[in-house]
Amino acid sequence: MEETESIAARSAGQEELYRGAAAAFGASLGRLARAYEADAGARRDLLQEIHLALWRSFESFDARCSLRTWVYRVAHNAATSHVGRQRRRRAVMLESLEDLEAVPDRGEGRCAPDERQALDRLLALIQQLKPLDREVILSYLEGMDAASTAEITGISAGNVANKIHRIEQILARRFHEGERHG
């Protein structure tokens, strides 16, 4: 009897945690899914995979890190596993920030893009990136500071700051040259 009650209490706690996380981070998780998967159908599946992983992870939430760090780690890990499976199917090559910095802009930035175009190009750029760089750029775009990003990714805050500097340079080159030229 006691065991049944304990399972029921754990299950209620799991649902409460999930509800809270979905309410606070649902929109961010939707953006994260867009950043990992370009195909709309597969993206819906990915989003459900992320939510399921989150639900399951709350079976044993231990509050050793913040709820936000927990949610983003689960989401990135679920999404990276998804991308790994897709890559094996589609044979996609991923790039690092350093590679992208070295590649000259192919001219897409010659005219000032509207927001929709800018977003599409941003998504295309993120989807090219290797997992760690993708985590950093998404945390940056979600407005997190270097310390929070470091906690999620497990790399040092100094290294995150260095990567953010590169991201800002790449974004400036790709999205603002057009405005200067245009």
Which residues bind to another protein, rule: CB under 8 A?
15, 18-19, 22, 26-27, 29-31, 33-34, 40, 43-44, 47-48, 51-53, 55-57, 59-62, 64-65, 69-71, 73-74, 76-78, 80-81, 84, 115, 118-119, 122, 130-132, 135, 140-143, 152-156, 159, 168, 171-172, 175
Name which of 103 and 172 has its Cβ closer to another protein: 172
- Shortest reach from residue 106's CB to another protein, in Å: 19
Place of tokens 């790994």: 84
- Smallest separation (angstroms) from another protein to the CB of 112: 12
Quick one: 2 or 52, whose CB is closer to another protein?
A: 52
Q: Which two tokens stand for residue 106?
A: 């192919």
Residue 8 burial class via C-beta count within 10 angstroms: exposed 0-12, middle 13-18, buried 19 and up: exposed
Q: Is 177 exposed, middle or buried (0-12, 13-18, 19+ CB in 10 A)?
A: middle
Alpha carbon 107 to chain centroid, angstroms: 27
Q: Are 136 and 164 in contact (CB under 8 A)?
A: yes
Question: Smaller CB distance to another protein: residue 2 or 115?
Answer: 115
Q: What is the DSSP letter of 74?
A: H
Shortest distance, position 155 Cβ to another protein, whole Å: 5
